[in-house]
Chains A and B, each alone.
Chain A
Amino acid sequence: MINFEYIRASSVKAAVEALAKNPTGGFIAGGTNLIDLMKRGVTAPTRLIDINNLPLKQVEETSAGLHIGALAINSEVSANDLVKNNYPLLSMAFAAGASAQLRNMATVGGNMMQKTRCSYFYDTAMPCNKRQPGSGCGALQGHNRMHAIFGASDKCIAVHPSDMCVALAALNATVTVSGPKGERKILFTDFHRLPGDKPELDNTLQKGEIITGVIIPKNTFNKNHYLKIRDRASYAFALISVAAALEVSGDTIKKASLAMGGVAHKPWRLTEAEKFLVGKTATKENFSKAADLAIKGAKGYGHNNFKLKMAPIAIVEALMIATGIA
């Protein structure tokens, strides 16, 4: 790892200023993604601003919903009674991520900002437009088993690897950020972006901005499930994951929110399937129709063609478990 200047920030303002003074620097929170990437030479910040002392660890419910600070630790949010009881989808998604040790280190902000696990991005000897714009995409014609089936471009077919983010997208969360120009809010579904011609940009956070937290509107979904399919039973990134949240009254679906992980450069909302489900009864047949709508336009790149078959099955399964039919 190339050495760097290390400073501890004592306030959000100080952190933002410290970064402004050294634009080739970066923030460090849990370190679980950044230190990995620095060891491999994928990134080499010249200054690290340790933000772990910032007062952004709260998990609290207000009339507007649930506020989670950017430095709240993944394992603590997952185990928080408020989250477990009122936002079970989020608790399940956290618990499905990484390992017990990593969840004790990883923060909510760091989790949002984590990089893709595409092996071409990680291997500095390989072409990768995300790591080195213009060098090409190694995955397009290469080993692309883990890669996107939705929203990819000919510049990049990487996926965002987070579990937490899939749940936050389904729960209509908002991200709060602070920067040199002040504070602003970003809809969670607008936070991550599709690769297009600029795969080097993972999200819409502006240079110099810091994430301060997320706000989740009061949860009215009474049927929730986070389904994660991976190569081993635990401690592996998702091949496909589905966050399913329904508001069901009697047998009728009043509200539906569905998002998938492991399939796109951002958590992928299944808006067509959601629209279809509203007003329908919760049956396997309806879930299957919704799943067929959800995967319209999906495209495989060879090794990941299996995801085209797996995706609709996973959607139905998640909805069946959420509603207790399965």
Chain B
Amino acid sequence: MDNNCKNEGRRDFLKKSTALAALAVASPALVKAGENDEKIAALFEKIPLNIEVNGKAFSLSVEPRTTLLDFIREQLHLFGTKKGCDYGQCGACTVHVDGERINSCLSLAVMNEGKKITTIEGLANGEELHPMQKAFIKHDGFQCGYCTPGQIMSAVACINEGHANSRDEVREFMSGNICRCGAYPNIVDAIMQTKKEGSTHD
């Protein structure tokens, strides 16, 4: 992908066409009024964002209301990071910001100016999977796989924080990642094994 990602996603297109439709049905008085035109323009005003994602620098512009999650998925087209609840309740959107795990659905992209983001796509070293990815495969740490990118990002951080010293500790510090398939015992196995085998740095 080039650094200035201009591809228009299907959702961007839908958003814009909805906005145009809204203008088309607006009363003539509203469209004429200069003040309202300005208001509509302001709604779409984008601001510049410099951000590093998986080791690559991007200089783009975003609407202030774009969450980090939507930015990653819809502007960078990195679809590994998942949207589960969109309200901070499930952990599917977990990414690392400057090495710390967060829920990207509750952060605005613009709040991450100058930050270094790592997503699930940035974890492997070329073709070589990250030890945590290998452990999830080995231990069958998933069923449908929807929660898995978030689980893996969270698990890597959990070990780096020093919070994987027992199965109970792992359960407590992984509680922000919900798995509707209930793969929890195997997820804990995968984390305990990775922890035993050594370092997991991004």
For the complex of A and B, the 5 pairs showing the least CB-CB separation, nearest first, are: A99-B176, A234-B175, A6-B64, A235-B175, A1-B65
B14, CB-defined interface residue at 8 Å? no
| Interface residue B75 (Cβ < 8 Å from any Cβ of A) | no
- Give the residue name and chain of the A residue nearest to B91 (CB): A101
Q: Known contacts A4-B64, A234-B175; decide if A101 and B94 are in contact (CB<8 Å).
A: yes
The residues of B that contact A100 with a CB separation of less than 8 Å are: 101, 154, 157-158, 161, 163, 173-176
Spot the interface stretch: A28-36, A55-63, A179-187, A255-263. A28-36
- Chain B nearest CB from A63 CB (Å) reads 32
Q: State which of A2, A8, A36, A75 has its C-beta within 8 Å of the C-beta of B88.
A: A36
B108 near A28: Cβ-Cβ < 8 Å? yes
What are 14 A-B interface contacts by the 8 Å CB criterion?
Answer: A1-B65, A3-B64, A30-B106, A31-B107, A32-B103, A48-B108, A101-B94, A101-B102, A101-B176, A104-B101, A104-B102, A233-B171, A233-B175, A234-B175
Chain A residues near B140: list those with CB within 8 A.
none
| A20 sits at the interface (CB 8 A) | no
Q: Is the CB of A101 within 8 A of B87?
A: no
Is A39's CB within 8 Å of the partner chain B? Answer: yes
Q: Which residue of B lies closest to A96 (CB)?
A: B172
Chain A residues with Cβ under 8 A from B103's Cβ?
32, 101-102, 105
Q: Does A5 interact with chain B (Cβ within 8 Å)?
A: yes
The 8 A CB mask of B25-68 against A (1 = contact, 0 = none) is: 00000000000000000111101000000000000000111010
18 more A-B residue pairs beyond the given contacts A31-B111, A99-B177, with a C-beta to C-beta distance below 8 A: A3-B43, A3-B63, A3-B65, A4-B64, A5-B45, A6-B108, A31-B106, A32-B103, A35-B107, A36-B106, A48-B64, A99-B175, A100-B163, A100-B174, A101-B88, A101-B91, A102-B176, A235-B176
User: How many residues does chain B have at the interface if contact means C-beta atoms less than 8 Å apart?
Assistant: 37
| A100-B176, A102-B176 as given contacts; A39 in contact with B87, CB under 8 Å | yes
Binary flags per residue of B105-122, CB closer than 8 Å to A gives 1, else 0: 111101101000000000
Contact B44 A3 (CB under 8 A): yes
* Docked pose: A1 CA to B86 CA in angstroms: 12
Chain A residues with Cβ below 8 Å from B47 are 6
Q: Name B106's contact: one of A2, A105, A234 (CB within 8 Å).
A: A105
Any chain B CB within 8 A of the CB of A86?
A: no
Against B, the Cβ 8 Å flags (1 = close, 0 = not) of A183-224 are 000000000000000000000000000000000000000000
Query: Is A52's beta carbon under 8 Å from chain B?
Result: yes
CB 8 Å contact bits of A92-124 with B (1 = contact, 0 = none): 000000111110110000000000000000000
- B177 CB to nearest chain A CB (Å): 8
Enumerate chain A residues within 8 angstroms of B113, measured Cβ to Cβ.
Answer: 8
Q: CB-CB contacts of B158-182 with A at 8 A, as 1s and 0s?
A: 1001010000000111111100000
Q: Which of A33-55 contact B (CB under 8 A)?
A: 35-36, 38-40, 48, 50, 52
Is the pair A2, B65 in contact by a Cβ cutoff of 8 Å? yes
Tell me which residues across on chain B come within 8 A of A40, comparing CB atoms. Answer: 87
- Chain A residues with CB under 8 Å of B74's CB are none
A8: B residues at CB distance < 8 A = 113
CB distance from B178 to the nearest CB of A (A): 8
User: Given the known A-B contacts A35-B67, A48-B64, A100-B173, are A5 and B42 also in contact in the complex, defined by CB atoms under 8 Å?
Assistant: yes
Interface check B202, CB cutoff 8 A: no
Query: How far is B111's CA from A35's CA once the two chains are assembled, in angstroms?
Result: 12
CA distance A286 to B146 in the complex (A): 52
Task: Chain A residues near B189: list those with CB within 8 A.
Answer: none
B44 contact set on A, CB distance < 8 A: 3
**Nearest residue in A to B68 (C-beta to C-beta)?**
A31
